[in-house]
Structure 1
Amino acid sequence: MDEERLSRHDLTDEEWERLVPLLPLNPRQGGRWTDHRMVINGVFFRTRTNISWRDLPPCYGNWKTVYNRHRRWSMDGTWAEILDGLRAGCDAEEGADWTVSVDSTVVRAHQHAAGARLAPPADFPVKGTPLDHKPVKGREALGRSRGGFSTKLHLVADRRCRPIATMVSPGQHGDSPYFRRVLERVRILRRGLGRPRQRPGRVLADKAYSSRGNRAYLRRRGIKAVIPIKKDQQANRRKRGRKGGRPPGFDAERYRERNTVERCVNKLRNNRAVALRTDKRERIYQGTIDVASIRIWLRDPTP
């Protein structure tokens, strides 16, 4: 495999300059970390190709070093912090009219994603620690849907098809119960003073999220809902007459922008480690999603 073929997945000098201020410093104890740029390029290469960690090309160093760095940064939230730094101030251009879209996608899980043992809360097993091997329903965000062994990825995207917040659940779980949970993960840092912004001005979603509870949740937070009404909900309201209340407003023109979240899904699924889950641990797979999101934000930064 020649160097030119490998380099197209690596960081450019411009991307590296934006990433350097967000990277953690060397640990105070122990030896120095291997060069960040080489290791991160290895993580990007694996995320894009979904190659086995042991099969990483030698140009990225020892495969174990690359894997350990990805695992550690996934478990301690370093990837998420880097992503927060890249997203800082992305709402400023739209201001109070900041619009986001919500959707989900089912991701098939490879057989290698199964078999994770139950670990202590820290998820770093200590020798001699007893482990409970009883099966737990939905453990590690894995389940069985119509498509088979799978995970469901819930996400929030902005108008430029960039991921704002993501979370995973077992594949057979519904969309609507995770509407509030994924929106509560929206957290945009300020470039200056002030608390992070957690409330967009408007939320777009399809009929799967049309429920009285979801609309009430958005109304309490002062967020405008652009969600079409299901036909059975319309019929029930008419059937109840005056007791059914007024039908919720719906802006059909604004709803045309909902395709941005579907395009964001396609961008994430271009990374094969996201499109086909091979990670056993939920938090490591979430870290893989964060790495793919970092790549999207590096290529389409906020001015």
Structure 2
Amino acid sequence: MARQRAPERLVNDQLWELLEPLIPQPPPAKNGRTGRPRGDDRAALEAILFVTANGIAWKRLPTELGFGSGITCWRRLRAWQEAGVWEKLHHAVLDQLGQDGLLDWSRACLDSISVRAKKGGELTGPNPTDRAKLGTKYHLLVTADGLPLAVAITGANRHDSMLVEPILDGLAPVRGRGRGRPRRRPGKLHADKAYDNRRVRRYLRRRGITARIARIGVDSSERLGRSRWVVERTIAWLLAFRRLAVRYDRSTVTITAVATLAITVICARRLPRKDY
């Protein structure tokens, strides 16, 4: 049996300090009944990260580690996703990195990876590279140094070029050092030949983003890899979260929450350590 990672390697005080103010207040008790005490939110975060990192089923969350019920943590994950907590947390981490001067907006890289969807579900489709078996595709946009700015999820049969506009248009403004305007677009976009079409190039020109996209039948993949290796490395980091490497979650809410939390943790690892 594969050795499971302890949650302490993923959650830290800085991440919790950013998350805590974003958590919505629990609903008031009905008819004056209090019922079972609500589980600790920080313990729930650790449990969610534990499942995300190790890829185990929610029902198999080890109770001896003090996490409580796996199903309760799964419900907490979904409730926070529906309240926009994970997206806000990712943006809060990006803001902190920007203010510390740790985001390189000079260029960005966009790429995707397809994984098997064992149980089917939403946002799946026949994977043309895996004998048309059901799969999911993660589309990842990263900075010049590989920090993920956004992740989008589609069926494995969705063409990569269709995600350029939604991903870039969906970027929230990120604050930087000083009093300058927040950034919401990179200077250049590096991508492979899957993104080489006129619609994408017109869109980037309109947004003022320089296209560094390999041209079909013209450019060599060897030269392209000099700038794009960072996104491939970040994809490897993303798939190190075993809950994403093979998809078992059937719903859009759950898989989106897990993927957003994963890219948030990747970004949070770059935050400067504080002395508490």
TM superposition score normalised by structure 2: 0.82
- Structure 1 position 162, deviation (Å): 1.8
Partner of 2:6: 6
Partner of 2:238: 268
- Structure 1 position 186, deviation (Å): 2.0
Three-state SS of the structure 2 residue aligned to 1:60 is coil
Matched, 1:298 2:275: no
1-side partners of 2:39 and 2:163: how far apart? 39
Give the conservation status (yes or no) of the 8 Å contact 2:214–2:224.
no
Pick closer, same or farther for the CA change 1:55–1:187 going to 2, 3 Å. same
Pick closer, same or farther for the CA change 1:46–1:94 going to 2, 3 Å. closer
2-side partners of 1:179 and 1:298: how far apart? 25
Matched, 1:220 2:206: yes
Pick closer, same or farther for the CA change 1:50–1:104 going to 2, 3 Å. same
Give the conservation status (yes or no) of the 8 Å contact 1:22–1:85.
no
Larger Rg: 1
Give the conservation status (yes or no) of the 8 Å contact 1:102–1:205.
yes
CA deviation profile, 1:221-279 (whole Å, cap 9, x unmatched): 11111112111xx5xxxxxxxxxxxxxx99x9886221111111000000011111111
Pick closer, same or farther for the CA change 1:33–1:196 going to 2, 3 Å. farther
Pick closer, same or farther for the CA change 1:142–1:33 going to 2, 3 Å. same
Moved more, 95-104 or 145-154: 95-104
CA deviation profile, 1:49-84 (whole Å, cap 9, x unmatched): 111111111110122221110111122321111111
2-side partners of 1:172 and 1:104: how far apart? 12
CA deviation profile, 1:134-189 (whole Å, cap 9, x unmatched): xxxxxx21111131110111110112322101111111121112222222222243
TM superposition score normalised by structure 1: 0.75
Identity across the alignment (%): 30
> Residue 108 of structure 2 is aligned with which of 100, 119, 130?
100
Pick closer, same or farther for the CA change 1:281–1:5 going to 2, 3 Å. closer
Partner of 1:174: 159
Q: 1:209 is aligned with what amino acid?
A: Y
CA deviation profile, 1:107-134 (whole Å, cap 9, x unmatched): 11112x44xxxxxxxxxxxxxxxxxxxx
Report which structure shows greater RCO (CA 8 Å, sep ≥6).
1
Pick closer, same or farther for the CA change 1:63–1:95 going to 2, 3 Å. closer
Q: 1:171 is aligned with what amino acid?
A: A
1-side partners of 2:95 and 2:256: how far apart? 20
Q: 1:222 is aligned with what amino acid?
A: G
Partner of 2:52: 47
1-side partners of 2:156 and 2:55: how far apart? 20
Three-state SS of the structure 2 residue aligned to 1:153 is strand
- Structure 1 position 34, deviation (Å): 2.2
1-side partners of 2:207 and 2:46: how far apart? 40
Three-state SS of the structure 2 residue aligned to 1:161 is coil
Partner of 1:24: 23
Moved more, 38-47 or 177-186: 177-186
Give the conservation status (yes or no) of the 8 Å contact 1:15–1:298.
yes
Q: 1:289 is aligned with what amino acid?
A: A
Size of the aligned set, in residue pairs, is 257
Partner of 2:140: 155
Pick closer, same or farther for the CA change 1:64–1:194 going to 2, 3 Å. farther
Three-state SS of the structure 2 residue aligned to 1:39 is helix
2-side partners of 1:194 and 1:73: how far apart? 32
Where do 5+ consecutive residues of structure 2 fail to align? none
Q: 1:53 is aligned with what amino acid?
A: W
> Residue 64 of structure 1 is aligned with which of 71, 83, 95?
71
